Structure 1
């Protein structure tokens, strides 16, 4: 059963999912610390290149099935125009100022 974005527990993660699903790159970038990093399937990636390729130019969309760790770990169905839909896991590091300094994703 899908968790509605507005019901996600962590405010930063809720805003992250909302920005992805709205295809709002500016809002997405505003959620990240200036030195934010990310990894895909355990390998660190260039954040700007990855988000453009995997989210914003390919209409990425997240449907969250489960959350844990206070809302900072998600199990979700992710789809985009390149890969179709797949089950994915997401983990977020949120700083005291409420911005995301790191996220990790990969197939679940």
Structure 2
């Protein structure tokens, strides 16, 4: 009986440390904290950090309930995008920040499409919530 409990404990610990290592590897591939420091708008910075960590609940907390998403100019379902893309896509570099920290350009990694240059352009209302996000492939 003690051997079985000990074996289960060892298996759980191995699984735990393996999972921690996988998360750490993913974060090392992402944009560095130095890159994130380039984002001067605090709301956008916090939303971006939530995106990078794959935390959809925190990400969504920065947006209005009726936030709109435009992907290369086409209206898409913002909530569906947010819940499906988070954890599957992340920035691997930030190349430039414009519009007082509201526009982010960089290289993104997606499990489905690979790596490419992209932009995220945010619009914030008077209450400090993001009400619109424009995304798309960037050419710079």
- TM-score tier after normalising by the smaller chain length: 0.7 to 0.9
Structure 1 stretches of 4+ moved >6 Å: none
More helix by share: 2
Shift of 1:53: 2.8
Give the root-mean-square deviation of aligned CA atoms: 1.5
Identify, as 1 or 2, the structure richer in strand: 1
Alignment of 1:3-42 (within 5 A): 4-42=35-73
* Equivalences, count: 105
Question: Distance in 2 between the 1:10 and 1:20 partners?
Answer: 15
Q: Mind listing any 5+ residue stretches in structure 1 that lack a counterpart? A: none
Relative contact order higher in (CA < 8 Å, ≥ 6 apart): 1
In structure 1, how many angstroms separate the alpha carbons of the residues matched to 2:118 and 2:38? Answer: 19
TM-score normalised by L of structure 1: 0.88
Consecutive unaligned residues of structure 2, counting only runs of 5 or more, are: 1-31
Report the structure number with the largest CA radius of gyration.
2
